[in-house]
Amino acid sequence: MTYKNFTVETDSDGIALVTWDMPDRSMNVFTEEVMDELEAIVDAIAADADIKGAVITSGKETFSGGADLTMLQKMLGLFEKEKAQDREKAVKRLFEAAGRMSWLWRKLETSGKPWVSAINGTCMGGAFELSLACHGRVAADTDAVKMALPEVKVGIFPGAGGTQRVPRLANTQEALQMLTTGQTLSPGKAKAMGLVHEVVPPRRLVEAAKKMIRDGLKPTQPWDEKGFKLPGGPVYSPAGANLWPAAIAILRRETYGNYPAATAILKCVYEGLLVPFDTALRIEQRYFTEILQRREAAAMIRSLFVSLQELNKGARRPRDVPATKLRKVGVLGAGFMGAGIAYVTARAGIPVVLIDRDQESAEKGKAHSAALMDKLIKKGRATQAEKEKLLSLITATADYSALEGANLVIEAVFEDSEIKRTAIEQAEAVLKSSAVFASNTSTIPITGLAKNSKRPRNFIGIHFFSPVDKMMLVEIILGKKTGEKALAVAMDYARAIRKTPIVVNDTRGFYVNRCVLRYMQEAYSMLIEGVPAPMIENAAKMAGMPVGPLALTDETAIDLAQKIMRQTIRDLGEKAVDPRHMALIDTMVDTHGRRGRKNGKGFYDYPEKPAKKHLWPGLKELYPQKAPESLNVEQLKARFLYVIALEAARVMEEGIVTDPREADVGSILAFGFAPYTGGALSYIDGIGAAAFVARAKRLQKKYGKQFKPPRLLLEMAEKGETFYTRFAPEGADRVREAA
């Protein structure tokens, strides 16, 4: 029998080699068709007396990325439609669909023939669960091999036996760590945990897998044999008594209960280890079906998988503009941001000219790349040769003539309009008229900067976030005269350096900074009201934010906040800034000399290591303190999420961001807006516009105009609309609404 996605070849020893190689995909993924074919292969091999066993491997460089989550999307979309007519029937169908992969893997491992997985590259999610169902697992000894069950990162969990096989192969504590964090394993780590049997050179991979079968590999799993003992010991044992209370407490500390899938993992493992394996799979299937119905799963799948993929593939790139091959990129300014931009550009294999006011400053910027590579070498993630190659791509100089031949120049000089004007003029004197000039400004409107350019159509903003090497988002800002070519080049560059781009129309603060400033300003208001600083920081983290707003202000610098406020007043008038906030920041900087982490004194104190940072005790003296028990923590949490989400809605109303995918993905990648919500707009959609507006009005009445719903939200509430229906992205797959 022939298959579309697999080939099956049986050698003279009676060992079938099943090679997975989807013809229309760059990476193997599980689809309905793939699972149908694989089930037919399992049945055929089990029925063929001449076949002694089977090896499954990939015909591509990677093994598999796991399940195609757009398939899961469609399944959830069907569930939503059926639920309205017959909820009980819809849930039953969802339960059956959710268990399809799990019971297929169970059929494979109980087929009576030994199966070995030969893992030759990335092996994620359902593919790793398939490998765990095989009786033997061999991984190639190469950095290209990465194994993980990362489903928790998109709001679900390993629902095809992962929560049951991992803790039956590995120590329970390590299993829980892997499952609840989506930890990626190297071949060596996987072998040490007991999840892989052998690690061999890539050229020997398939032969080593076949040898396991020739050497008499048993066609039964350890948990299907009498007398099987759990590697970590029984749940009800001294070891279990020490592990489970601590595991529950740690998960609560890390997630604040915001991630139902992570909690479900603990329940699946705990309950599953108390019963026979088939019953355990049913328990897992039950919880998986429950999690699929949660709002968090729908929102996270949409934003952190589907939308993220669409944006990374250039969903907003002008289609009629040919792709640009970047021959040379210029970076003006070798400070922390400029040096970081040079590093990620060279890391992508693109030659870089790094310019600063003098040679010494430029060389200092290049040294930043050397230091980053040294850290990677120390961690075993890079080699000395790779470091030397990267540094050879960076030319540090003070001479603007070195920009000749560059087809993209990125300006990252000091945030001052006059300094930027000089840099633009000096660069354009050397560049060809076809070259694109981009500014990394974070506050100055692009349209104003473009007035200093002789070719405003080729002038654009590319706003990076700090630290550049770690932050995965870039804002691409369109000035009023920016042309499609400039946008296409910026998008091509973002893709080359493996950053996710969002396209933003020009405005003060663009999108991300407008939202971030609201977050920090709400903390200033709370501090002024007398909310104790620890409650402010903890409430923000309980709401799902990765960093408290006071800590974030310290990281970005309090004196920078002061400069932004003063510039805003100069440009827009006294009413543009809350005078109480201005007084607070002036007191911190001018009276107490507290400028943030950079001088070791901000809202936090930063003592010498190994001591940890801690909130400055002097904060208690700035304003009369309220008793913690008099404060409503749930309301504090809501204030942070609502103030950001309302600003995101205003940005959509103003046409600054036009695609809800970009608003959601941008809010998560740039400043970590509560990922479990799916992003700032998905948060509103999940609550429902009418309910959101009603609560926003109550917050406005009590805490101020920052909570006033924009007209757009009032209209959406009246019409029962969501952002993903009102602003449906053109050409994007429609995703079920977060219910």
> Are the C-beta atoms of 515 and 644 separated by less than 8 Å?
yes
Cα-based angle 92, 95, 101 (whole degrees, multiple of 5): 145
Residue 213 β-bridge partners: none
Residues 6+ apart with CB under 8 A from 122: 27, 62, 63, 64, 65, 144, 145, 146
Main-chain dihedrals φ then ψ at residue 586, nearest 5 degrees: -60, -40
Residue from 368, 463, 581, 592 carrying the catalytic annotation = 463
- The reply to whether 592 belongs to the active site is no
Read off the tokens for 651. 């940005």
The Cα-based distances of 243 to 123, 171, 247, 468, 490 in angstroms read: 29, 11, 6, 39, 50
The residue with tokens 């394993």 is 185
Phi-psi region of 672 (alpha: psi -120 to 50; beta: other; left: phi over 0): left
Report how far residue 64's alpha carbon sits from residue 26's, in angstroms, rounded to the nearest whole number. Answer: 10
Query: Which helix H or strand E contains 353, and what residues bound it?
Result: strand 352-355
Report how far residue 168's alpha carbon sits from residue 170's, in angstroms, rounded to the nearest whole number. Answer: 6
Q: Give burial (CB, 10 Å; 0-12/13-18/19+) of 635.
A: middle
Beta-carbon count within 10 A of 711 CB: 10
Read off the tokens for 732. 């994007």
CA nearest 149: which of 116, 182, 176, 180?
A: 182
604-613: burial string, b at 16+ Cβ within 10 Å, e else: bbbeeeeeee
Catalytic (active-site) positions:
463
